């Protein structure tokens, strides 16, 4: 671990003039993604198989990248006129239609989902054109990315006309295009407002954690008077709380590190640490939601292999994502998170062999031990010590 003098432990108390807080319009826009996250979990529940799980992963990536596109747009552009707001509202409507079709995005509603997703991305392109009309440098950067902004959703539309496995191959192609484009063409001309960017991604983590709480509450509704169900609810909340601690305990200093990076490197760091490496964090929470809901609903029965993988593997993926994110953000391995991820992963093969309450208790014990370690030792990671708001 580096010394405390390496970096300031806290962000500056005042935002720089070129930064800003997340606005009410952005918070309103993000509400549609609350529903989207829930629908991803619902998709896997309705098609409870490894194929259904794979479809859920692809759907989550599509939802995530749609959100990423608009996050970069609103971070870079300060447009807030009537036209820009109207286009945002139309994009929300299209995303809500896509989310409503998401459970059958690989079935009867594939075409509707694909066309709605394409509409979301087309409106994003229109907003980019409108926002870049006065900035030649940003316009050139946008034109480099224009093909990949449309090829990805175009492949999803084409996939809607095909049967498995060609359908899934086209979806994978869309993922590669979406994720590979910014890495291939770069983001150097995009301006990043660090405080706004960090805050926006933190809110998305909160949305994902909210999905885990929703799944727990929904599962407990069936028989909340049972003692083992009540115990399972408490354990599930503790695991989610540990995830909250892991992420938000080290939030201080994140914006400061982005702010100190030179402009081209700042955009690359924002792309890698947030647009790319926050996806495993979100995916881990969503998978955990899938497993913990099943554990609460049937605490005295062993979990199905897929649910066990979701419960233990989802939590393990979250902490692995924390390691990757912290490494890219400040080139330091968060050892306690790495150990937590490995231990949680070793519980995956045990999950189908013991009652769900026991495996949930084990996941909780590992999670609480991680938080207790940080409270006791106060390890310095990235110039900050764990100190959640």
Does this model's pTM top 0.95? no
Q: What is the C-alpha to C-alpha distance for residues 311 and 334, in angstroms, rounded to an integer?
A: 22
Long-range contacts of 357-362 (CB under 8 A, 24+ apart): 357/228, 357/231, 357/232, 357/235, 357/295, 357/299, 357/300, 359/295, 359/303, 359/308, 359/311, 359/312, 360/232, 360/235, 360/236, 360/239, 360/292, 360/295, 360/299, 360/311, 361/235
Indicate whether 281 pLDDT > 50: yes
Contact 161, 111 (CB under 8 A): yes
pLDDT in tens, 360-382: 999 999 999 999 998 888 777 76
pLDDT in tens, 321-365: 999 999 998 888 889 999 999 999 999 999 999 999 999 999 999
Q: What is the C-alpha to C-alpha distance for residues 217 and 224, in angstroms, rounded to an integer?
A: 9
User: Per-residue confidence at 233, pLDDT binned at 50, 70, 90?
Assistant: very high
Mark which of 191, 224, 243 sits at the end of a domain: 191
Whole-angstrom CA distances from 86 to 42, 115, 212 are 30, 20, 32
What confidence score (pLDDT) does residue 2 get? 41
316 and 212 part of one domain: yes
Is 151 within a domain? yes
Domain that holds residue 238: 193-389
Mark which of 140, 172, 191 sits at the end of a domain: 191
Is 386 within a domain? yes
81 and 200 part of one domain: no
CATH code of the domain in which 380 resides? 1.20.1410
Q: What is the DSSP string of 247-307?
A: HHTT-TTHHHHHHHS-HHHHHHHHIIIIIITHHHHHHHHHHHHHHHHHHHHSTTSBPPHHH
């Amino acid at each position: 671990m580096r010394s405390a003098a390496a970096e300031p432990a806290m962000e500056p108390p005042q935002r720089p003039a070129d930064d800003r807080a997340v606005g009410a319009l952005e918070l309103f826009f993000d509400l549609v993604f609350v529903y989207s996250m829930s629908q991803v979990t619902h998709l896997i529940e309705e098609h409870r198989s490894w194929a259904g799980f794979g479809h859920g992963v692809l759907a989550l990536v599509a939802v995530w990248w749609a959100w990423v596109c608009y996050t970069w747009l609103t971070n870079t552009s300060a447009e807030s006129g009537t036209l820009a707001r109207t286009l945002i509202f139309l994009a929300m409507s299209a995303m809500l239609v896509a989310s409503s079709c998401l459970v059958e995005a690989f079935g009867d509603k594939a075409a509707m989902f694909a066309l709605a997703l394409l509409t979301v991305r087309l409106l994003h392109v229109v907003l980019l054109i409108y926002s870049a009309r006065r900035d030649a440098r940003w316009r050139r950067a946008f034109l480099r990315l224009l093909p990949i902004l449309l090829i990805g959703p175009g492949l999803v539309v084409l996939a809607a006309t095909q049967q498995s496995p060609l359908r899934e191959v086209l979806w994978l192609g869309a993922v590669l295009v979406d994720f590979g484009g910014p890495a291939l063409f770069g983001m150097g001309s995009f301006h990043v407002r660090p405080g706004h960017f960090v805050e926006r991604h933190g809110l998305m983590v909160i949305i994902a954690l909210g999905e885990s709480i929703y799944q727990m509450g929904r599962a407990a509704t069936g028989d909340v008077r049972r003692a083992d169900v009540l115990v399972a609810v408490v354990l599930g909340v503790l695991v989610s709380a540990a995830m909250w601690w892991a992420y938000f305990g080290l939030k201080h200093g994140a914006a400061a590190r982005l702010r100190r990076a030179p402009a081209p490197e700042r955009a690359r760091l924002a792309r890698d640490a947030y647009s790319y490496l926050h996806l495993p964090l979100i995916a881990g929470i969503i998978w955990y939601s899938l497993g913990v809901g099943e554990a609460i609903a049937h605490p005295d029965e062993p979990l199905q292999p897929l649910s066990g993988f979701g419960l233990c593997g989802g939590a393990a993926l979250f902490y692995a994502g924390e390691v990757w994110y912290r490494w890219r953000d400040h080139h330091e391995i968060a050892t306690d998170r790495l150990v937590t991820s490995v231990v949680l992963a070793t519980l995956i093969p045990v999950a189908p062999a013991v009652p769900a309450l026991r495996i949930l208790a084990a996941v909780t014990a590992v999670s609480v031990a991680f938080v207790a370690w940080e409270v006791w030792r106060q390890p310095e990671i990235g110039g900050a010590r764990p100190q959640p708001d």
